Amino acid sequence: MAASADAVGDGVAVSDHVRPSGDGPVDADRSLPPGVYRVVGTPENAVTLLRVADADGRRVHTGEVHRVPRTDLDEFEVAANPDENRSLASSVVGQLDGLACKSE
């Protein structure tokens, strides 16, 4: 899926990146904060999303996982992968931080 301001629709796949279109939650029953989400699961009637960036597109490690009904995918737009915006130095530091956490 190429990054654009197009609506997501039903054609999402694992590893695609999406963001809620608009400023608030997707609906009143779900508090989905603004940000970029990676699709990590695509069960039949829903999509499982992992929040990977804040509303400004900066990479975050929140561990927040949300399940969104496929009928709500029209409330999302395609987003760029936040990992593609990182400098080489940031990527190396992130990898080293990850290794330090695993060794503890």
At 28 the three-state DSSP class reads coil
Contact 53, 82 (CB under 8 A): yes
44 within domain boundaries: yes
- Using the structure block, give the residue that is written with the tokens 């629709």: 9
Distance CA 51, CA 65 (A): 7
pLDDT in tens, 47-66: 999 999 998 888 898 899 99
- Using the structure block, give the residue that is written with the tokens 């990479």: 59
2 within domain boundaries: no
pTM above 0.75, yes or no: no
32 within domain boundaries: yes
83 within domain boundaries: yes
Parent domain of 65: 17-103
pLDDT in tens, 8-35: 666 789 999 999 987 555 555 567 888 9
DSSP 8-state code for residue 45: T
Give Cα 87 distance to the centre of its chain: 19
11 within domain boundaries: no
74 within domain boundaries: yes
Distance CA 101, CA 75 (A): 36
Per the structure, the count of domains in the chain is 1
Residue type, 67: R
